[in-house]
Structure 1
Amino acid sequence: MSVSIHPSATAPTARAALLRTSALALVLASLPLAAGSAATFQVTPSEEPSPGIVTFSGTPTGISADGRIVVGSYVGPAYWDSTGVRTDLPSAGVLGSAVAVNADGTIIVGGAFQYSTENTIALKWVDGETEVLPDFGGGSQALGVSGDGSSVVGYAAGEGNQVAVRWDAEGINILDHLTGETEAMARGVSADGSVIVGYAIDESYNRTAVYWDSSDIIHSLAFLDSGNNADLDSLKNADAVAASNNGSVIVGSAFEAGTKYAVYWDAARDVHRLALADGMTSARATAVNGDGSVIVGTGQNFYFDGIFLHDTQSGFRWTQDDGVISVGDWLRNNGVDVAVDIAKTAIGVSADGDVVVGQSQNGMHISRGFRTPAPAS
């Protein structure tokens, strides 16, 4: 079930202040240190780049299905072509970030922070125009968009709880919620728009990974087994962040016995844990390709050596045949000369699985493996 509400409507009651604080943190965390020059909004796909890795300044958040447009932030919302050339996006707020992009890179969604309201506002960029998406006056953020751009998902709040929403031609729609859960967030949507993924939050702030089907009915996704230790019940948290083209594969993260793992849920909605890469103590999956055969994410090793606290991260790429390997090893396996593993994270992947984008040690990277040659005609 969903409730369609137009811009003048108001939302239910509860914790809007927490949303405003979280929203500001989300926007500020996406901002790099240096400013960029403004440019005219125009998506112009570049020529097919050579296999390899391109690094440049910025904070990436997503990539188009065709692998040609990367979105994110460089002080404000921006996008890059596949060679690293940046275009800054006009913003209706003071700060902001582009978060997701449709299949061909022509529709971009995200949000910006407004000091006047102390809230974020959900934004959509189409054909050079910035559109402020309707909300309930308590802050909103767009986090995902379908392949054709007709369905945008995220969250919104008013004088009440944070709710998962979908924006479409009819306006803003509040998505169904689980019984006993107080808040929810939609994190992504399948390319065909049939499956929305995200999480629901109870009053103890535990998260349940969920998805909404084509009828907008919410379903909880399976947890990993936390074992028989009752003390670990509070760690039975899970989060769904992305889906394959038709929603048959959903990816995210879940805890098992106190450890966070990258996971995927298959078409039967059974949960599968991905192995941790060498040297990593936790992981999260962040994106999946079109047919669900390639999953990317980030492994993390967080430890204290008695003097200093260390946080080591490494972007990974998973397939059924290769298992979990670092982005650097994936490139080397495909003949690309990479001296060190500079891919700190992997946050997006093209529909064919050949292009991976994420943070590098000094900015961001676009990594491309070799494509399978087309058969001779």
Structure 2
Amino acid sequence: MNENHIYSVAFGVSDDGRKVVGRTHAPDTQVAFLWTQTDGMVNLGVPPTWSMTEAHGIAPDGSVIVGFGEVTGIGFEAFRRTEAEGIVPLGVLDESPFDYHSEAHDASVSGWVIVGWSKFDRWRFATTWTPRRGLINLNEILTNEFGVDLGDHQLSQASAVSYDGKTIVGWGGHKDYSAVEAFLVRIPCIDDCDRCSFRERMTGRCKPQGDGTVKVVAKLSGGRVGATLTFCLDYYKAFAEATVNEDGRAKARFKRLPPGPHHLTLKECDAPAEVTCE
């Protein structure tokens, strides 16, 4: 982006490899970027009160980008970015001087769970962020909600999270930093991460129509009761909403389609299904 200073680093990629995120130099500062084959490298910008941004991760479906930026004169703060909202700060654990620092490094599908780290009272702690609860110390979640006895160990940074938000990896060690070790945490859902736990249980079926077109019926099982989901046809060319019923099922129909292969997915979860209509 700056012809006089060639510099860029990629940190994250979507599941399908179509979106890449990282950092590069713009004329005046360092900025987060999104790269696609169609648009090339796109500057994601810097909020008015910030001096730089850096993208470190992207949700598997490519819908949410995460990273951090420098809040001018204050410190560093994690962010999430979507096409609709732009860059949204995620907060810090400690707003006091010298401790105002948080970073986001990865996100589960649709950004339901975002992981990273933040400082508190001069210490560095692994964090999770969810839309409902905001930024939380992962050590406290494990201790207070799941009864895990961490002893003298402390989780210092969460570096990556699984598709469903239930597995988190990173590094930590003894509280005196005498040893540093990798960690893997498997926990039940935090808030809405189970909204997408059904990703392998969507199917599609074709029904030929009398006018030479076909109707595609998309069915989902094992969904969270009451969740409203958006079925997408052929890479977001058509949409249909459906609510998961008491049996955990939802159904959507797409009419007057040409025969041939069709692709189904869920906007919220990127649950894929392929169907070929003869």
Query: Which category of TM-score, normalised to the shorter sequence, fits these structures?
Result: 0.5 to 0.7
| Equivalent position SS for 1:275 | helix
Query: Could you say which residue in structure 2 is the equivalent of 1:167?
Result: 35
- Cα distance, 1:271–1:280 mapped onto 2, change above 3 Å: same
Give the one of 314, 319, 336 matched to 2:181.
Answer: 314
Which of structures 1 and 2 has the larger relative contact order (alpha carbons within 8 angstroms, sep 6+)?
A: 1
5 Å-filtered alignment, 1:156-305, equals 156-168=24-36, 169-204=38-73, 206-215=75-84, 217-225=86-94, 232-268=96-132, 270-275=134-139, 277-281=150-154, 283-301=156-174, 303=176
- Cα distance, 1:314–1:178 mapped onto 2, change above 3 Å: same
RMSD, aligned α-carbons:
2.6
5 Å-filtered alignment, 1:62-81, equals none
Instruction: Give a deviation string over 1:340-372, Cα, whole Å, max 9, x none.
Output: xxxxxxxxxxxxxxxxxxxxxxxxxxxxxxxxx
- Is contact 1:166-1:174 (8 Å) kept? yes
Shift of 1:180: 1.4
5 Å-filtered alignment, 1:363-374, equals none
5 Å-filtered alignment, 1:44-59, equals none
Instruction: Give a deviation string over 1:312-356, Cα, whole Å, max 9, x none.
Output: 11222223359xxxxxxxxxxxxxxxxxxxxxxxxxxxxxxxxxx
Query: Could you say which residue in structure 2 is the equivalent of 1:149?
Result: 17
- Cα distance, 1:156–1:137 mapped onto 2, change above 3 Å: same
Instruction: Give a deviation string over 1:106-139, Cα, whole Å, max 9, x none.
Output: xxxxxxxxxxxxxxxxxxxxxxxxxxxxx77331
- Cα distance, 1:161–1:205 mapped onto 2, change above 3 Å: farther
Q: Distance in 1 between matches of 2:20 and 2:4?
A: 16
Query: One-letter code of the match for 1:140?
Result: S
- Cα distance, 1:194–1:255 mapped onto 2, change above 3 Å: same
Q: Distance in 1 between matches of 2:179 and 2:47?
A: 36
Q: Distance in 2 between matches of 1:214 and 1:159?
A: 23
- Is contact 1:224-1:256 (8 Å) kept? yes
Q: Distance in 1 between matches of 2:42 and 2:94?
A: 34
Query: One-letter code of the match for 1:295?
Result: I
Shift of 1:281: 4.8
Instruction: Give a deviation string over 1:185-242, Cα, whole Å, max 9, x none.
Output: 000100111000000113447210001013360100022145xxxxx32212000000
**How many residues get paired?**
180
Higher Rg: 2
Q: Relative to total residues, which structure has the larger strand share, 1 or 2?
A: 2
- Cα distance, 1:136–1:154 mapped onto 2, change above 3 Å: farther
5 Å-filtered alignment, 1:23-102, equals none
Q: Distance in 2 between matches of 1:216 and 1:151?
A: 18
- Cα distance, 1:302–1:256 mapped onto 2, change above 3 Å: closer
- Cα distance, 1:321–1:175 mapped onto 2, change above 3 Å: closer
- Is contact 2:45-2:53 (8 Å) kept? no
Q: Distance in 1 between matches of 2:121 and 2:184?
A: 24
Structure 1: gaps spanning 5 or more residues: 1-9, 12-134, 227-231, 304-309, 323-377
